[in-house]
């Protein structure tokens, strides 16, 4: 048996022994996606987490995803294979600064993207993901004054599709900000039949040329049901694994980053999780995610509100 197979077998054996379930985000390494019980976008992973009977949830994703699962399932052990798997977007919004920003704008409803720390969620009225941001914002009264954080690109996009004028926190994701419009247009010229799929964390000029803007799951679903045979994918490269697996007869071309030859369309945080670390966390039941109970009690409300609207 080769090393890869024996590692996979070990993970599956430990998963059973620990009564664990493995959830994976689409940006995880392919081999982790292949061993997962469920693969999803941020919304689907949160929705699934709270329906599971298992004692242990392994969240193969980044820290805020593990935190969200722990807040929703406080009695379960929630593991993230590498606790250093953070998120540059979540890091662009500290709870202290966000609180000061909210205080400067009394009377505003606070909408936060799920890519935030539990402490930021605790300051929030309603959480959104890229799947439901439009729906949640549209559910708020038309005259509501809204603060949206931390992603300025998603916020701008939601403003443009809803006609709202939400006040935006000035944060961004280092992966999605680096795609080059110029190079995307060149690629479109080279493949005129290709449809462009883009995540709303990308900058506006890229979203304007996209045929579909949506969450990772929405982009995958679009590719599966579209008649087109070729797609240019403007999001993190991990999604290509599932797209190619589920649509073997279609071609998926990663959009080029600004800097030639760099692997900038890889989220370095997402890729910190490896099969070895997945095996180790199941073996040791560590590192486990813990959330301060006071913060969790406040953060659960805007998350539940989002789930009830989704
Ligand atoms: P999705 O909710 O679309 O999966 O996005 C999560 C994310 O971190 C995008 O960078
Ligand atoms: Fe965060 Fe960007 Fe990585 Fe998504 S791709 S987890 S937003 S750093």
CA atoms of 98 and 102, how far apart (whole Å): 6
Is ligand 1 within 6 A of the CB of residue 41?
Answer: yes
Q: Is residue 310 a contact partner of residue 132, using CB atoms and an 8 Å limit?
A: yes
Cα of 163 vs centre of ligand 2, distance in Å, is: 26
Cα of 119 vs centre of ligand 2, distance in Å, is: 18
CA atoms of 210 and 269, how far apart (whole Å): 26
Q: Is residue 125 a contact partner of residue 100, using CB atoms and an 8 Å limit?
A: no
What is the average per-residue pLDDT within 47-58?
97
Query: Residue 30: which residues within 8 A CB-CB, separation 6 or more?
Result: 238, 241
Residue 1 pLDDT: 66
Cα of 267 vs centre of ligand 2, distance in Å, is: 6
Is ligand 2 within 6 A of the CB of residue 239?
Answer: no
Share of the chain above pLDDT 90, in %: 95
Q: For residue 169, what are the CA distances in angstroms to 55, 80, 89, 124, 295?
A: 37, 28, 11, 13, 21
Is ligand 2 within 6 A of the CB of residue 166?
Answer: no
Residue 4 pLDDT: 77
CA atoms of 160 and 201, how far apart (whole Å): 14
Q: Which residue has the tokens 């679903």?
A: 221
Q: For residue 253, what are the CA distances in angstroms to 77, 217, 281, 301?
A: 38, 17, 34, 40
Is ligand 1 within 6 A of the CB of residue 215?
Answer: yes
Residue 256 pLDDT: 82
Where does residue 260 rank: exposed (0-12), middle (13-18), buried (19+ CB within 10 A)?
exposed
CA atoms of 223 and 6, how far apart (whole Å): 33
Is ligand 2 within 6 A of the CB of residue 206?
Answer: no
State the average pLDDT for the chain. 96
Measured from the Cα of 215, ligand 1's closest atom is 3
Residue 7 pLDDT: 95
**Torsion over CA: 76, 77, 81, 86 (sign):** positive
Angle, alpha carbons 299-154-267 (nearest 5°): 85
Q: For residue 254, what are the CA distances in angstroms to 28, 64, 251, 266, 273?
A: 16, 26, 10, 11, 22
Q: What is the largest CA-CA distance in the chain?
A: 63
Give pLDDT tens digits for 111-124.
999 999 999 999 99
The H or E element that residue 65 is part of is helix 63-72
Cα of 130 vs centre of ligand 1, distance in Å, is: 7
Residue 150 pLDDT: 98
Give pLDDT tens digits for 129-152.
999 999 999 999 999 999 999 999
């Amino acid at each position: 048996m080769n090393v890869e197979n024996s590692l996979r077998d070990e993970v599956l054996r430990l998963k059973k022994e620990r009564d664990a379930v493995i959830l994976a985000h689409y940006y995880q390494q392919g081999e982790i996606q292949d061993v997962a019980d469920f693969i999803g976008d941020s919304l689907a992973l949160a929705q699934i987490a709270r329906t599971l009977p298992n004692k242990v949830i392994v969240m193969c994703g980044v820290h805020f995803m593990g935190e969200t699962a722990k807040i929703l399932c406080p009695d379960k052990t929630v593991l993230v294979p590498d606790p250093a798997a953070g998120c540059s977007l979540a890091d662009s919004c500290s709870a202290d600064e966000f609180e000061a920003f909210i205080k400067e704008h009394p009377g505003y409803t606070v909408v936060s993207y799920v890519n935030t720390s539990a402490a930021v969620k605790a300051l929030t009225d309603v959480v959104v993901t890229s799947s439901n941001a439009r729906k949640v914002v549209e559910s708020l009264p038309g005259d509501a004054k809204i603060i949206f954080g931390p992603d300025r690109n998603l916020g701008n996009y939601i403003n443009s599709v809803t006609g709202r004028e939400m006040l935006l926190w000035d944060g961004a994701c280092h992966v999605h900000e680096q795609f080059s419009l110029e190079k995307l247009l060149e690629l479109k010229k080279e493949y005129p039949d290709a449809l462009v799929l883009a995540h709303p964390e990308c900058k506006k000029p890229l979203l304007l040329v996209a045929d579909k803007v949506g969450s990772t799951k929405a982009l995958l679903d679009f590719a599966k049901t579209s008649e087109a045979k070729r797609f240019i994918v403007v999001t993190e490269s991990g999604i290509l694994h599932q797209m190619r697996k589920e649509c073997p007869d279609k071609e998926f071309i990663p959009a080029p980053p600004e800097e030639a030859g760099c692997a900038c369309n890889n989220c370095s945080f997402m890729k910190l999780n490896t099969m070895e670390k997945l095996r180790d966390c199941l073996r040791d039941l560590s590192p486990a995610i813990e959330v301060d109970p006071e913060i969790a009690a406040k953060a659960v409300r805007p998350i539940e509100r989002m789930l009830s609207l989704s």
